[in-house]
Amino acid sequence: MLYDSVDQAKNKSAGCPSQNQQARQQQQQEEMIKKSLSRIKHKIFVLSGKGGVGKSSVSANLAASLAEKGYMTGLMDVDLHGPSIAQMMGMKDLLDVSSDQKLLPKKIGDNLKVVSIQALMQDKDQAIIWRGPAKTGMIKQFIGSVEWGDLDFLVIDAPPGTGDEPISVVQTIPEAKAVIVTTPQEVALADVRKSISFCKTVKMETLGIVENMGAFKCPHCNEVIELFKSGGGSMTAKKEGLKFLGSIPFDTAVVKSGDEGVPVVIQDKNSTFSLAFKEVVDNITKQLI
User: How many Å separate Cα 148 from the centre of its chain?
Assistant: 15
Cα Rg of the chain, angstroms: 21
Rounded to whole angstroms, the Cα distance separating 56 from 154 reads: 14
Rounded to whole angstroms, the Cα distance separating 132 from 118 reads: 19
Contact (Cβ atoms closer than 8 angstroms) between residue 88 and residue 263? yes
**Which regions of 52-133 does DSSP assign to beta strands (E)?**
73-77, 96-97, 103-104, 106-108, 112-116
Rounded to whole angstroms, the Cα distance separating 210 from 284 reads: 10
Per the annotation, binding residues are 49-56
Per the annotation, binding residues for ATP are 49-56
Rounded to whole angstroms, the Cα distance separating 149 from 216 reads: 40
